[in-house]
Chain A
Amino acid sequence: MKASEVKVDLDELKKFKNQNARERLEFIDFWVNYIKTHSDREWSEQQNVLIDSQVT
């Protein structure tokens, strides 16, 4: 498919963006619950996988 043939439905993309934002907020709640129910060392090991992949 050529770039010129791609159809873009902006309304649909806005819905996806909105849905993604909601899912990200839901993940915050899930993650906070994880922190509250696990030891600092457990949750920080998980967190460090993300951080240390970007900061060496």
Chain B
Amino acid sequence: MEYNKEKREIKLDKVLSNLDKFVLDFVRILKEHINYVIVSGYVSILLGRSRSTEDIDLLIPTIKKEEFEKIWKKIHENGFECMNTSNHVEAFEMLKEHAIRFFKKGIPTPNIEYKTIKTDLDKYSYENRIKVILNNKELFISPIELQIAYKLFLASDKIDEELQPDKDIEDARHLYKMFKEKINKEEFLIFINKLNVKKRLILLE
């Protein structure tokens, strides 16, 4: 695995898992129409974490109803269905409030949690996304610095009282240990402070 931080690019030559194939299959449809960024658990898994997941979090910009309809059709033509509704107008309205989930017809897991960009953190992830060249295919993921800080934030509040198994802390530690020589320390600490997780830094070392 090679991380070129100047180019914001990671090169991976791995044997694809069924989860990787599922994600690549979905983003192949999207990329013809719209840009996206993958955030949260699958980022850690793609970059080596030894666990699986039932959902892949994907952020997309807000788009017009007509554009969404085109994407909706393509997604369905390629064998996916939406868990929340079979109607694209309803799905479009739902996206204003919450995520919608897509999975391969008849197979609810894994699924894509498809969300529109709403917060500044979402926007930052999208605007500063990293390209992952996975064999000869491309994926776009959230910046590592934000991923680590956000995973520390997601961990259970009980972690501040006593150490206990927590997948988010483990994801954060995995990414930190993988990339600590290459991450932008200044940006990392900005997110650590903004997310108020400074006291959790000890869990990374």
> A residues touching B (Cβ–Cβ < 8 Å)?
14, 17-18, 20-22, 24-25, 28-29, 31-32, 35-36, 39-41, 43-48, 50-52, 54-56
Q: Would B170 and A50 count as touching, CB distance under 8 A?
A: no
Question: Complex Cα distance A17/B165, Å?
Answer: 7
Q: Would B173 and A40 count as touching, CB distance under 8 A?
A: no
> B residues touching A (Cβ–Cβ < 8 Å)?
1, 12-19, 22, 45, 48-52, 109-110, 162-166, 169-170, 173-174, 177-178, 203
Neighbouring B residues of A17 by C-beta, 8 Å:
164-165
Label chain A's interface by main secondary structure. Answer: helix
Instruction: Identify the 9 closest CB pairs spanning chains A and B, nearest first.
Output: A44-B14, A51-B17, A32-B177, A55-B18, A40-B14, A48-B17, A54-B52, A40-B13, A44-B15
Q: Would A32 and B14 count as touching, CB distance under 8 A?
A: no
Q: With CB as the reference atom, state the residue of chain A lying closest to B13.
A: A40
Neighbouring B residues of A39 by C-beta, 8 Å:
13
Interface-central residue, A35, A36, A47, by most chain B CB under 10 Å: A47
- Give, as a whole number of angstroms, the nearest-CB distance from B152 to chain A: 13
Neighbouring B residues of A35 by C-beta, 8 Å:
1, 48, 178
Q: Would B17 and A14 count as touching, CB distance under 8 A?
A: no
Q: With CB as the reference atom, state the residue of chain B lying closest to A24.
A: B165
Q: Would A41 and B13 count as touching, CB distance under 8 A?
A: yes
